[in-house]
Homo-oligomer: A and B are copies of this chain.
Amino acid sequence: MATVKLMTDTEAEAIPEVKAVFDDIRATRGSDFINNIWRALAQDPQGLERTWEQVKSVMAAPGALDPKTREMIYIAVSAANGCSYCVHSHTAAARAKGMSDDEHGELLQIIGLAAMTNTLVTSLQVPVDPEFEVS
């Protein structure tokens, strides 16, 4: 259960700002499916619009990183932050954008290794080497 109601398509149709975002999500993704995060955010139309604009701009615009790599980075952050929903949705998205089982397996090993060394370094309070400084 969410802490807000999930907005149905019927309800969304009645609120112009929400309808506009839902329409744009569908057009951008070429799919009729609106997943639950948008239905939850829709209770605050301005927050919905702001969040979608960010997601669209960062994840869907052309750039130096390919869509699959972007999704794998998203999974990494979501796992480190412990967000179940986000791990599920971005693992599905990464697969849809071509992530192979081998790539998924390697991604998870890097995520796990990084979490391990992050915590070791924090336990040891390792000082930053001057060699890493941006001159």
Dominant SS among interface residues on chain A:
helix
Q: For the complex, give the distance between the alpha carbons of A79 and B113 in Å.
A: 14
Q: For the complex, give the distance between the alpha carbons of A40 and B47 in Å.
A: 26
Task: Report whether A133 and B44 are in contact in the complex, using a CB–CB cutoff of 8 Å.
Answer: no
Within 8 A of B (CB), among A41-64: 41, 43-44, 46-47, 50-51, 54-55, 57-59, 63-64
Query: What is the interface size of chain A, counting residues whose CB is below 8 A from a CB of the partner?
Result: 83
Task: Report whether A59 and B110 are in contact in the complex, using a CB–CB cutoff of 8 Å.
Answer: yes
- Name A's B-contacting residues (CB within 8 A): 1-6, 33, 35-37, 40-41, 43-44, 46-47, 50-51, 54-55, 57-59, 63-65, 69-70, 72-92, 100-129, 131-134
